C-alpha cells in the first residue's frame, strides 16, 4: 500500500474551496442575473468543471494508492469511493452522474445550456463541500494507522 500524497490533496482541497466560494457567490446572485450574463454562466461552467476534476483527481489518487484499484472512467471513481468506504455508498450513487457534466464540458461543449449550468449550480457547492469533508475525514483516519 502506497502512502497518500496529503500535501497535494490539501492543495487540491484549497483550490476546491476557492471554486466553491465562487460558485456560491454566483448562486446567490439568483436566476435573472445568471441568465442575463454570459460571463457569469462561463464562470459557473468553469468552476463546476474544475471542482469535479479536483474531486475525481483526489478520489482516483485514494483509490489507486490506498486500495490498489483502477477506475475505468470518472463515474467509476465516484462509485468506487463509495464501495471502499471513503464516502457513503448512497452519496456515491447520488453523485456519480456529476461526471456527465464534466464530460459535457470537456467533449460536447456545444450541448451545454445555461439551464443545465444553472441547475448544477444550485446543488453543486453543497455536494462539493461534502466531498471535501469526506476526503478530510478519510485522511485523518489514515493518519491514525
pLDDT per position as a tens digit, 40-97: 999 999 999 999 999 999 999 999 999 999 999 999 999 999 999 999 999 999 999 9
Q: What is the DSSP string of 25-78?
A: HHHHH-HHHHHH-HHHHHHHHHHHHHHHHHHHHHHHHHHHHHH----SSHHHHH
Say what the pLDDT of residue 1 is: 47
Say what the pLDDT of residue 144 is: 61
Say what the pLDDT of residue 4 is: 84
Please tell me the CATH superfamily of domain 6-144, with its number.
Answer: bsu32300-like (1.20.120.580)
Cβ-based neighbours of 122, under 8 Å, separated by 6 or more: 27
User: Per-residue pLDDT for 145 more than 60?
Assistant: no
Amino acid at each position: 500500500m502506497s502512502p497518500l500524497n496529503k500535501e497535494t490533496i490539501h492543495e487540491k482541497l484549497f483550490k476546491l474551496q476557492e471554486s466553491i466560494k465562487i460558485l456560491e457567490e454566483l448562486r446567490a446572485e439568483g436566476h435573472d442575473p445568471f441568465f442575463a450574463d454570459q460571463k457569469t454562466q462561463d464562470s459557473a461552467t468553469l468552476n463546476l468543471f474544475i471542482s469535479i476534476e479536483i474531486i475525481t483527481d483526489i478520489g482516483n489518487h485514494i483509490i489507486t494508492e490506498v486500495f490498489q484499484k483502477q477506475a475505468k472512467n470518472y463515474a467509476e471513481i465516484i462509485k468506487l469511493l463509495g464501495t471502499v468506504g471513503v464516502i457513503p455508498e448512497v452519496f456515491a450513487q447520488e453523485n456519480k452522474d456529476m461526471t456527465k457534466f464534466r464530460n459535457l464540458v470537456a467533449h460536447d461543449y456545444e450541448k451545454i445550456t445555461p439551464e443545465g449550468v444553472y441547475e448544477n449550480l444550485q446543488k453543486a457547492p453543497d455536494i462539493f463541500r461534502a466531498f471535501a469533508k469526506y476526503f478530510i475525514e478519510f485522511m485523518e483516519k489514515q493518519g491514525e494507522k
